[in-house]
Amino acid sequence: MSGCPFTSAAKPIPATLLTEEALQDPFEIYKRLRAEQPVAFVTEQNFWLVTRYNDCEFILSHPEKFSSREAVSSTNAYRRSPEALRILSGSKGHPRARTLIMSDPPEHTRYRAILQRSLSPGKTLRQLATRMQEIIDDLIDGFAERGECEFVREFAYPLPMRIVATILDVPPERIDMLKAWSDDFISVQAGNIPDDRIVDAARHTIEFEEYILAKIEERRREPRDDFFGRLIQPHEGEQPLTTQELLNFALQILVGGNESTTNFLGNGMYELMRRPHLVAELQREPGRIPEVVEEILRYESPLQGLFRVALEEQDFDGVRVPKGAKLMLNFGSANRDETYYGDGEFDPHRDNRSTLHLAFGRGIHACAGQAIARREGMLAFETLIRRLPDLRLSPSRAPQRQTLFSLRGMKKLYLEFTQAPRLRAST
């Protein structure tokens, strides 16, 4: 897209959208955009912001009109560094591959079928359910006797990372390494990594690929009935994944399986802690936790949006979007659209089945791991408010939010509670 051919209804949105203050609480701006500029051009980043539910749903439902080839990025910091590009291009003959969220049919159809079979949500959930509960209790044991915790660092980050590590067959002592690789990838795709770290991020990408490549080669020698084993072994009539496709699958599991879930857990705990009466209700009626989880996902969508590229010129209520234009579908805004959600305020009794929220996307690109993320949240919130019944926000240490445009989550969340016994003796 070389420029922006505006109609009279399409004016560039103000830079205030990208300020730290706006990133802390963008919802008033989103509300104004839905009313005045529902499809608006963001001049600073050269994309169109789509803020109404119907428009987002339409785009998600028509992959033949809107490509996913640049689904997760508005920019890519590697382009700023020839040295980083040189490092990546020398990746042992395994060039970058587009799979799953950054591909279109028919390639996407093949990738999705292989992932669904390999991840096998029902089977994986059964295998992981006991492990999830063990991890949750172990993490709570780590701070239960202190009477306080920093929730993101001590719970919201390690829980999904340990689940991802289980899926990718990574030992617990390497989790911090996995997280560092994931953080670098996200920072590079968002374009907010400092220039002096871009080359290091490229090297870390190669480290990740070499680590996963060893797993792949091990499964090729000795097949197993685990995620990598099922991913590598093709079914009859199925084209096997190439090595570069396998590496990209692993990267998407790493990033998709931890970042959004960490933000979901942090957002959810913050919303619960702001509503002690709701916590008391859920302690009496834990069966309501699944519906509250859906409302948390709608109200504070951890992934605020994904990108699409228009494959042909499109018209949105008189706003002409040219062929080749990049659009960001803003789930955070769409999930508070007045047409479906009234004033959009948090409602723990809302029936989110009548209008399905877009927190996990929609259509052929809906998040393949959403059942796992939901189960993590339900088990986590139920266990936390049961084992730490007077859990509350710290009165002396304010929570801190992340300030990223496409992700919404907590950076720091300090909690206090009456000291509680561990479930397991210290070893």
CA 313 to chain CA centroid, Å, is: 29
Phi and psi based region of residue 324 (left: phi greater than 0; alpha: psi -120 to 50; beta: remaining): left
Looking at the 3D structure of the chain, how many domains does it have? 1
pLDDT average, residue stretch 144-150: 97
Residue 336, domain member (yes or no): yes
Of 271-275, 322-326, 364-368, the poorest mean pLDDT is in 364-368
For the stretch 260-282, pLDDT in tens is 999 999 999 999 999 999 999 99
What domain range includes position 99? 15-416
Report in angstroms the alpha-carbon separations of 131 from 127, 162, 175, 238: 8, 9, 16, 31
* Mean pLDDT value of segment 350-365: 89
pTM: 0.89
Q: Rounded to an integer, what distance in angstroms lies between the CA atom of residue 228 and that of residue 248?
A: 12
Q: Terminus-to-terminus CA distance in the chain, angstroms?
A: 59
Has residue 263 been placed in a domain?
A: yes
CATH code assigned at 392:
1.10.630.10
Query: How would you classify residue 72: left for phi > 0, otherwise alpha for psi between -120 and 50, otherwise beta?
Result: alpha
Backbone angles phi, psi at 380, to 5 degrees: -65, -50
Taking the C-alpha atoms of residue 114 and residue 91, their distance in angstroms, rounded to an integer, is 25
Residue 156 has pLDDT above 80, yes or no: yes
Rounded to whole angstroms, the Cα distance separating 293 from 375 reads 10
Burial (CB count <10 Å: 0-12, 13-18, 19+), residue 173: exposed
Residue 310 within any structural domain of the chain: yes
**Between β-strands 414-416 and 392-393, what pairing exists: parallel, antiparallel or unpaired?**
antiparallel
User: Mind listing the pLDDT tens digit for each residue in 117-135?
Assistant: 777 656 666 778 889 999 9
C-alpha 28/C-alpha 34 separation (Å) is 10
Domain contains 422: no
Q: Report yes or no on 7 lying in a domain.
A: no
425 is a domain residue? no
Q: Give CA–CA dist 149/143, Å, rounded.
A: 6
Residue 109 lies in a domain: yes
Percent of the chain with pLDDT over 70: 89
Q: What angle do CA 351, 357, 363 make, to 5 degrees?
A: 130
**Which pLDDT score is estimated for 2?**
36
In-domain check, residue 9: no
Mean pLDDT score, 45-67: 94
